[in-house]
A and B are shown apart, each in its own frame.
Chain A
Amino acid sequence: MTGAEPKVTLDLAKAHGLTAEEYDRIIQLLGREPTYTELGLFSALWSEHCAYKHSKVFLRQFPTKAPHVLQGPGENAGIVDLGDGLALVLKMESHNHPSFIEPFQGAATGVGGILRDIFTMGARPVATLDSLRFGDPEDPKTRYLIGGVVSGISWYNNCFGVPNVGGEVAFAPEYRGNPLVNVMCVGLVRKDRIFRARAEGVGNPVLYVGAKTGRDGIHGATMASAVFEEGAEERRPTVQVGDPFTEKLLLEACLEAMATGAVVGIQDMGAAGLACCSAEMPSRAGTGMEVELSRVPLRETGMTPYEIMLSESQERMLLVVVRGREGEVRKVFAKWDLEAVEVGRVTDDGELRVRMDGQLVAQVPVRALTDEAPVYEKPTARPAWLDELHAFDPLDLPPPADYEQALLAILAAPTVASKQWVYRQYDHQVGINTLVLPGSDGGVLRIKGTRKAIALTTDGNARSVLLDPYQGGALAVAEAARNLACSGARPLAVTDCLNFGSPERPEILWQFSEAVRGISEACRRLEIPVVSGNVSFYNETEGQVILPTPIIGMAGLLEDAGWRTTQWFKGPGDRIALIGPEAVSLGGSEYLATCGRRVAGRLAPLDLTLEREVQAACRAAIEAGLVASAHDCAEGGVATALAEACMSGPGEIGADVALPSVGRLDLTLFGEGPSRIVVSIPPMAQRHFEGLMQEWQVPWRFIGTVGGDRFTLRVRGEVVVNLPVERIAHAWRTGFERYVA
């Protein structure tokens, strides 16, 4: 072993984010003190980011199996069968910490990382979506972060050439020092052309392909596994720098190389770079690997083995290819002006051996880095302050003096208002598949060569999760599935991004465990498997923890692309119906947050059986061709959903609606509850629709008619809102833009 490296001590191990117990365990596994490079390997692979050590025991609850699941969690991405010999690859990932330190590159490389996760499976990425969370929009720092994050996503996404078809942006002061950037990507692959990250075949060469390795991003995975103290921005050098052009070349070259049949296994060098690939790939295959670092293409001089192994330079992949066919693969990469260098080979002894100029610098059993990583079941504790939040009754507050003003305030709230400023900066049409553009409940893309289409959505309401993590987690799944039902799709699979504070705090871990329990229960009851995902802990800066924010990404299938449905009203004279239960609450509502400036109270109950039936009934009506528009009632309640249906389409149109009273007027208008969908039905289809709803036996009623240029809401025969559509549209269109333009 080399003598030039620093002496490894317990203090050094602690500085690497390892505990004393973990350091002892390393010594026990190796039977000796680790070298400096080995310490680096353990610190990266045993980080929360790579090892899921605090979350693993909880994540086991997720239902991950179903007949159509071709690949569940544990690979770079999940895969589900679409029929017709095609499969859909999906994954969502966070890039929160880097995006706070350097918003442009942090968000851009978040997109880059998730794209590689998809095409490393052999799929061509066909769409991305993004869920973003920021602090108070009044704060100038927030404006800076939004600008940087959105332009970073826009730059990487557009240059690479993948359409961004949806997402969401929400605001709360708790995200001030810790914004969230979650990006989802889906890709299409032929079922017989799926690739996995496995180092099979003893003696097969290991090829390094793509960009050169530099010092950027060293310890990115470790950084993402700790809370931020003051001066976090000084960690800018741990943020990677992206190059979407190289990524585009890497995509084309990888897919072309895979088509030769010479590729055995492939993995993206993302978090923890070469260290992660050279341990995980043999670990999955039950093999070992040897690498010679002097052969790794470098863009800086004097890099140590430690730095080369831990670099998170972007746009790189590690390939295992069939011995004797290296030339074919190298030729493809040369065509795309990319490096493809043999850096090692697959061995049979289960060891990872790392050499520099022939000299051994690390030798570790691959299972010690992967399967033997510590797994914790740390204590959880229900926070005492929850009782106080639950004790608050929003109906103790006086009702608003003016319901029209309250509605306009909600529509102009940055979380509800139009996000056109964001998505018009993203290419959403490249690939010419996008049937439903951003701005509806779900993005819809056709699958060329078939009658089918896929629908995609991301959802998460952190206020609900804060007040009731179990139900909040379940609600996120229910809402995502409802969005897909409104688009005409049957849900296929979930990918998730679980953003929380430090799991070492019992109250945070309780939120996490409850949310996971809720997500699991909803996925089981709605029969939607979880096939991939990501956990992001330690979202805390200077003691301020974020709201518990599980984001659910969901993909669904439309057997007939013609079923696709959008959320906005279409024709004057169409009847408006509300499908779903009456139970709503102002607890945790947008109305309470916007007009009452607080997040408290109790949520309306969720009945997953009813949820399932409402979604099925909506889908049945859509498939029968009876529905002109369908929109989920979410933040801001039924009044907001109706207003959105009037103004979010290509043209504005009015509506006259009599809402069934459920108590106080503010509760009737703005109360939020699950399983509720607003649909519009052309007069010709009315009878048929009535019959169908009776058959499904779900609660529903006609509540109004589309038409005119005014938005009118009546309750108990009294007009409570009567505004020109133009006026509500103006509030909604400018509500977010006023902070960023």
Chain B
Amino acid sequence: MRFGVVIFPGTWSDCDFHFVIGEVLHQPVKYVWHRDTDLSEYDCVILPGGFSYGDYLRAGAIAGRSPVVEALGDFLAGGGFVLGSCNGFQILCEAKLLPGALLRNECLQYRCQSTFLFVENAETPFTRGLRPGQVLKMPISHGEGKYYGDAETLRILRGRNQIVFRYCTEAGEITKEANPNGSVENIAGIMNEEGTVLGLMPHPERAAESALGGTDGLLLFHSLIGSLIEDGSFLKR
């Protein structure tokens, strides 16, 4: 499976994703510059964490209108997958590839800590290797990760099973205390209707080696690689 990791000016999780995909998962991976628009050689494009374009205006606002993000529409139409983590999730919302928005954390401070995620939907290409209700451990690191959607957006997300992860306790309870940023309904990650775009605030690339505190992040990659092998789509492209 061929991965492309996008670098915007101000991105900092690019090297981390590149390392995990290349050195831990042993998959082919290349960097994609923010002005590139030809994504035809990739199966999955990753929008990593960081402060793209300094997050000036709003987090992800400028990157959401950059050449590489504008090229994602065609890439998805051609059968590609997109994973946005942290700033990548913010960019996907700004680009309207995912509904809703990410606001300043309710505590008004940056938060770097471990979180637990309740797997709400285990039938997506990113989560099919998981069990519904499984609890994953993954760290967060952001100042603007409070997911917000209006009542109609939330109704649609729920109805179409687009909510993929919610913040929970270690035991899997979805409580206010387990919510690190004040996200509505403890939402940590959502996908588009087709299931080809996943956005989440936590960092799967920081949970990919046991020496660093856990490997639950790898489960997302394993699911995705498995999905592509099984339906043969990566052989066709």
Which residues of A come within 8 Å of B, CB atoms?
151, 154-155, 158-161, 243-246, 248-249, 336-337, 423-432, 434-435, 446, 448, 561
In contact, B211 and A435 (Cβ under 8 angstroms): yes
Flag if A245 contacts B54 (CB, 8 Å).
yes
- B residues near A (Cβ < 8 Å) are 9-10, 12-13, 15-16, 19-20, 49-51, 53-56, 109-113, 139, 141, 143, 203, 205-206, 208-209, 211-212
- Among A245, A423, A429, A434, max chain B CB count under 10 A is at A429
A424 touches B112 (CB 8 A): yes
Residues of the B chain whose Cβ atoms lie less than 8 Å from the Cβ of A429: 112, 139, 141, 203, 206, 212
Chain A residue contacts of B10, Cβ below 8 A: 159, 245, 248-249
List 21 A-B pairs, Cβ < 8 Å.
Answer: A158-B51, A158-B112, A160-B12, A161-B51, A244-B54, A245-B53, A245-B56, A246-B54, A248-B9, A248-B12, A249-B10, A336-B9, A337-B9, A424-B113, A425-B111, A427-B141, A431-B16, A432-B19, A432-B208, A432-B212, A435-B211
CB distance from B141 to the nearest CB of A (A): 5
* B112 adjacent to A428 (CB under 8 Å): yes
Choice from A425, A428, A430 contacting B13 with Cβ under 8 Å: A430
Q: Which residues of B contact A158 (CB under 8 A)?
A: 51, 110, 112, 141, 143
Tell me the nearest residue of chain A to B54, going by C-beta: A245
Q: Which residues of A contact B205 (CB under 8 A)?
A: 432
Smallest CB separation, B218 vs chain A (Å): 13
Interface SS majority for chain B: mixed
CB distance from B216 to the nearest CB of A (A): 14
**Interchain CA distance A243-B55 in the complex, whole Å:** 12
Minimum CB–CB distance from A296 to chain B (whole Å) comes to 23
Query: Given A159-B54, A248-B51, are A432 and B9 neighbors across the interface (CB < 8 Å)?
Result: no
Which of A155, A245, A426 gathers most chain B CB within 10 Å? A245
**Inside 8 A of A561's CB, which chain B residues have their CB?**
211
Asked if A425 and B51 make an inter-chain contact with CB atoms under 8 angstroms apart, the answer reads no
Nearest residue (CB) in A for B11 is A161
Q: Which residues of B contact A155 (CB under 8 A)?
A: 110
Given A154-B109, A245-B53, 19 more contacts at CB 8 Å? A154-B110, A158-B51, A158-B141, A159-B55, A161-B50, A245-B10, A337-B9, A424-B111, A424-B113, A425-B110, A426-B112, A427-B141, A429-B139, A429-B203, A430-B12, A431-B16, A432-B209, A432-B212, A561-B211
Which of chain B's residues have a CB closer than 8 A to the CB of A336?
9
- Whether the Cβ atoms of B51 and A431 lie closer than 8 Å is no
* A434 B212 Cβ-Cβ under 8 A: yes
Specify the chain A residue showing the minimal Cβ separation from B51: A159
Q: Which 9 A-B pairs have the closest CB atoms?
A: A161-B12, A245-B54, A159-B51, A427-B141, A432-B16, A425-B110, A427-B112, A154-B110, A429-B206
> A residues within 8 A CB of B54?
159, 243-246
Q: In the complex, what residues of B have CB within 8 A of residue A424's CB?
A: 111-113
Per the bound structure, the CA–CA distance linking A425 and B143 in Å amounts to 9
In whole angstroms, what is the CA distance A426 to B113 when docked?
A: 9
Select from chain B the residue with minimum beta-carbon distance to A421: B109
Is A245 a contact of B211 with CB atoms below 8 Å? no
Question: What distance in Å separates the Cβ of B121 from its nearest Cβ neighbour in chain A?
Answer: 27
Give the residues in chain A near B211, CB-CB below 8 Å: 435, 446, 561
By beta carbon, the residue of chain A nearest B19 is A432
Could you tell me the distance between the alpha carbons of A430 and B140 in the complex, rounded to whole angstroms?
Answer: 10
Distance in angstroms from B133 CB to nearest chain A CB is 23
Note all chain A residues with C-beta closer than 8 A to B109.
Answer: 151, 154, 425
Chain A residues with CB under 8 A of B113: 424
Give the residues in chain B near A423, CB-CB below 8 Å. Answer: 112
Q: Decide if B209 touches A245 in the complex (CB within 8 Å).
A: no
Chain A residues whose C-beta falls within 8 Å of the C-beta of B56 in the assembled complex: 245
In angstroms, Cα B24 to Cα A119, docked, is 28
How many angstroms between the C-alpha atoms of A424 and B15 in the bound complex?
23
| B115 → A minimal CB distance (Å) | 12
- Which of A160, A243, A337, A430 interacts with B141 by CB under 8 Å? A430
User: How far is B23's CA from A446's CA once the two chains are assembled, in angstroms?
Assistant: 15
- In the assembled complex, which residues on chain A have CB atoms less than 8 Å from the CB atom of B208? 432
Interchain CB contact under 8 A, B9 and A435 = no
Chain B proximity of A299: nearest CB distance (Å): 16
Contact of A431 among B15, B20, B55, B112 (CB under 8 A): B15
- Residues of A with C-beta under 8 A to B203: 429
Distance (Å) between the CB of A322 and the closest chain B CB? 26
Which residue of chain B lies nearest to A162 when distances are taken between CB atoms in the complex?
Answer: B12
- B167 → chain A closest CB, angstroms: 15
Max chain A CB contacts within 10 Å: which of B51, B56, B139, B209? Answer: B51
CB neighbours (8 Å) of A435 from chain B are 211-212
B16 contacts A430, C-beta separation under 8 Å: yes
CB neighbours of B139 from chain A (8 A): 429
Measured between C-beta atoms, what is the minimum distance from A288 to chain B in Å?
36
